[in-house]
């Protein structure tokens, strides 16, 4: 198990210049970096890989940023744009030496509207078709896609581990895994430990976030059953802190962060990794 940090905590968009953050991440004790690539043109993956190597770090995951024009259940144009975007990310991941494309790879974040059951089923079939295409490409490139259930306020499509498992079953690709996040599970799952155990060896990525998007461990989440479940399923992947603050304005608005959650941004990273090492390590 490796501990990582998502760069959204400190910057948006991530660019070649953002690699100046790497020495500090290393100093704090992080082993892996999660990079949200908002547009493939923002980075030269060879440059980023060189800076990672220089600092003794690895890119453990690239986060797909699914805006309104990237939606695998949207219009034909949105589906095409979303697929092309994620395939470009996979190409960059190969250069970065990154094994996992993570996030809500199925739809635009923020699309949350109740639709008739018949329409939902049609959307499901459309996403299955598109994910089969994406996963075939990922498998050919030697990487995996980790699908993340989001809470009800960010999507109406996949909210729970059960829904994610059904999607993985329907897609039927060994390249498709599941990405669980304690913030989203805190809203949608009755028992986080049970959800982790149910996903089992399909758990490909894990976000450890405070119940209010702040520091893991400085919240009301019961972390003991989570630690026990991760051990039970023999999870060996990355555990990443994904938090957002008002310092990064664009992301704060997108994630509905309207107030300062912790006194400083650095405290989320520093106190968070200390807690995770003690609790999960």
CA distances in angstroms from 111 to 31, 35, 73, 256, listed in the order given: 33, 23, 10, 14
CATH topology of domain 2-280: TIM Barrel (3.20.20)
DSSP-derived secondary structure letter, 24: H
Residue 48, SS3 per DSSP: helix
Sign of the Cα torsion 230, 202, 205, 69 reads negative
Sign of the Cα torsion 258, 263, 269, 274 reads negative
- pLDDT at residue 199 greater than cutoff 80: yes
Average pLDDT over residues 95-109: 97
Q: For 209-234, write each residue's pLDDT tens digit.
A: 999 888 999 999 999 999 999 999 99
- pLDDT at residue 248 greater than cutoff 70: no
- pLDDT at residue 194 greater than cutoff 90: yes
- pLDDT at residue 253 greater than cutoff 90: no
> Can you give the pLDDT at residue 264?
80
If pLDDT is split at 50, 70 and 90, which confidence band does 252 have? low
Positions annotated as catalytic residues are 148, 242
If pLDDT is split at 50, 70 and 90, which confidence band does 249 have? low
Ranges 85-94, 216-225, 239-248: which has the least confidence: 239-248
Average pLDDT over residues 179-188: 98
> Can you give the pLDDT at residue 150?
97
Q: For 121-160, write each residue's pLDDT tens digit.
A: 999 999 999 999 999 999 999 999 999 999 999 999 999 9
Other Cβ atoms less than 10 A from the Cβ of 234: the count is: 10
- Indicate left, alpha or beta for 101 from its phi (over 0: left) and psi (-120 to 50: alpha): beta
By the 8 A CB rule, do 217 and 279 touch?
yes
> Can you give the pLDDT at residue 281?
80
Ranges 27-31, 152-156, 237-241, 244-248: which has the least confidence: 244-248
> Can you give the pLDDT at residue 258?
66
> Can you give the pLDDT at residue 261?
75
- Straight-line distance from the first to the last Cα atom of the chain, in angstroms, rounded to the nearest whole number: 7
> Can you give the pLDDT at residue 246?
64
């Amino acid at each position: 198990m490796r501990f990582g940090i998502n760069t959204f905590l400190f910057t948006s968009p991530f660019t070649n210049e953002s690699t100046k953050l790497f020495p500090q991440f290393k100093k704090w004790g992080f082993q892996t970096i999660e990079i949200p690539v908002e547009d493939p043109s923002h980075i030269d993956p060879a440059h980023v890989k060189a800076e990672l190597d220089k600092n003794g770090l690895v890119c453990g995951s690239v986060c797909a940023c699914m805006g309104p024009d990237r939606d695998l259940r949207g219009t034909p144009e949105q589906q095409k744009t979303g697929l092309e975007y994620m395939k470009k990310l996979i190409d960059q991941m190969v250069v970065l030496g990154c094994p996992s494309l993570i996030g809500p790879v199925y739809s635009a974040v923020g699309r949350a509207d109740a639709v008739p059951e018949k329409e939902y089923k049609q959307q499901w079939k459309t996403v299955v078709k598109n994910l089969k295409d994406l996963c075939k490409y990922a498998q050919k490139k030697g990487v995996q896609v980790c699908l993340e259930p989001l809470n009800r306020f960010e999507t109406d499509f996949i909210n729970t581990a059960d829904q994610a498992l059904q999607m993985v079953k329907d897609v039927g690709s060994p390249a498709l895994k599941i990405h669980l996040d304690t913030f989203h599970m805190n809203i949608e799952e009755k028992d986080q430990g049970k959800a982790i155990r149910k996903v089992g060896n399909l758990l490909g990525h894990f976000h450890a976030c405070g119940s209010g998007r702040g520091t893991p461990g400085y919240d009301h989440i019961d972390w003991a059953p989570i630690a026990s479940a991760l051990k039970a399923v023999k999870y060996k992947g990355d555990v990443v802190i994904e938090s957002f603050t008002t310092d990064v304005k664009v992301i704060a608005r997108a994630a509905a962060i309207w107030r300062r959650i912790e006194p400083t941004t650095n405290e989320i990273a520093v106190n968070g990794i200390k807690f995770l090492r003690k609790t999960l390590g």
